[in-house]
């Protein structure tokens, strides 16, 4: 469904961010990408989304090459990036084109209902908490009904309680729609809780160092021995285990 083939990215500055990264995801699969800063995780998402062009290799969705921004792909960034002068409903519907105002509003309201914020459709972004604003960003990504949902550390700026709550909320949305998801995160427990597969990236340029398959059904108990053992393995693979 989503195929990343020998993907490399070299910038005009001469810096190579990625080198021969590849994987294939089936429909509805969740992949988490973890790695230290500077290993090309965000660059990988931008290439999948068609926001940047690769230097080598390519990306395809349902056997169609990605060569630019794609309506099949939704993107949730680290910050909500809401337009402060627009109502929440209009922020969500902003990316819809070719539809009448009534249909845009109806689809935006349905997307807000999905994230539990339909009552705030007429509010402005400054009236929302950080967690609520990020839920709006998720609604905006979902409103186009994408086949692939990309998330670039979407909860990193939130407090621990809100982050856990939104992780559960994201899984609830995923169960209803089953998009293929690629989640970039620095939070190893987040990756272990959400993903079917974890890719560990290392290096500059970034390469896939190791892939871990997760077979346990969700929700997963974070205090379980296996969960903590896998966390230690990932920390070790990233050379982050304390001495």
Q: Report cis status (omega within 30 of 0) of the bond before 219.
A: yes
73: phi then psi, degrees, rounded to nearest 5: -115, 125
Smallest CA-to-CA distance from 78 within 9, 181, 156, 5 is with 156
Structure tokens at 96: 């819809």
* CATH superfamily, region 1-72+147-243: P-loop containing nucleotide triphosphate hydrolases (3.40.50.300)
Under DSSP, is residue 221 helix (H, G, I), strand (E, B) or coil? Answer: coil
Average pLDDT rounded to a whole number, residues 66-74: 90
Average pLDDT rounded to a whole number, residues 48-69: 93
Query: What is the rounded CA–CA span in Å between residue 184 and residue 31?
Result: 9
Q: Report cis status (omega within 30 of 0) of the bond before 205.
A: yes
Query: What is the rounded CA–CA span in Å between residue 18 and residue 107?
Result: 37
DSSP code at position 129: -
pLDDT tens by residue, 19-36: 999 999 999 999 999 998
pLDDT tens by residue, 140-196: 999 998 999 999 999 988 999 999 999 998 999 999 999 999 999 999 999 999 999
Q: What is the pTM of this model?
A: 0.93
Query: What is the rounded CA–CA span in Å between residue 24 and residue 76?
Result: 21
- Residue ranges of the alpha helices (H) in the chain? 41-49, 88-93, 101-114, 130-142, 160-177, 188-194, 225-237
Q: What pLDDT is attached to residue 17?
A: 92
Q: What pLDDT is attached to residue 240?
A: 62
Exposed, middle or buried: residue 229 (CB in 10 Å: 0-12, 13-18, 19+)?
Answer: exposed
Contact 151, 174 (CB under 8 A): no
Query: What is the rounded CA–CA span in Å between residue 77 and residue 49?
Result: 12
Structure tokens at 71: 């309506």
CA torsion sign, 82 to 113 to 142 to 159?
positive
Domains of the chain, residue spans: 1-72+147-243, 80-145
């Amino acid at each position: 469904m989503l195929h990343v083939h020998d993907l490399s990215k070299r910038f005009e500055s001469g810096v190579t961010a990625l080198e021969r990264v590849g994987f294939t995801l089936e429909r509805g699969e969740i992949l988490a990408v973890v790695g230290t800063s500077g290993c090309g995780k965000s660059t990988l998402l931008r290439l999948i989304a068609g926001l940047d062009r690769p230097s080598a290799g390519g990306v395809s969705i349902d056997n169609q090459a990605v060569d630019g921004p794609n309506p099949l792909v939704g993107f949730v960034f680290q910050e909500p990036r809401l337009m402060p002068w627009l109502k929440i409903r209009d922020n969500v519907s902003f990316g819809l084109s070719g539809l009448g105002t009534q249909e845009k509003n109806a689809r935006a309201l349905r997307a807000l209902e999905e994230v539990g914020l339909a009552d705030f459709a007429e509010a402005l972004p400054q009236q929302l908490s950080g967690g609520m604003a990020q839920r709006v960003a998720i609604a905006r990504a979902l409103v186009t009904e994408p086949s692939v949902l990309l998330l670039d550390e979407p909860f990193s700026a939130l407090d621990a309680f809100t982050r856990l709550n939104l992780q559960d909320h994201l899984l609830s949305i995923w169960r209803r729609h089953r998009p293929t998801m690629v989640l970039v995160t620095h939070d190893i427990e987040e990756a272990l809780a959400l993903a079917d597969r974890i890719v560990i990236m290392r290096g500059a340029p970034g390469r896939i160092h190791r892939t871990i398959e997760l077979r346990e059904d969700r929700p997963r108990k974070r205090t379980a021995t296996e969960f903590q053992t896998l966390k230690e393995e990932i920390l070790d693979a990233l050379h982050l285990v304390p001495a």
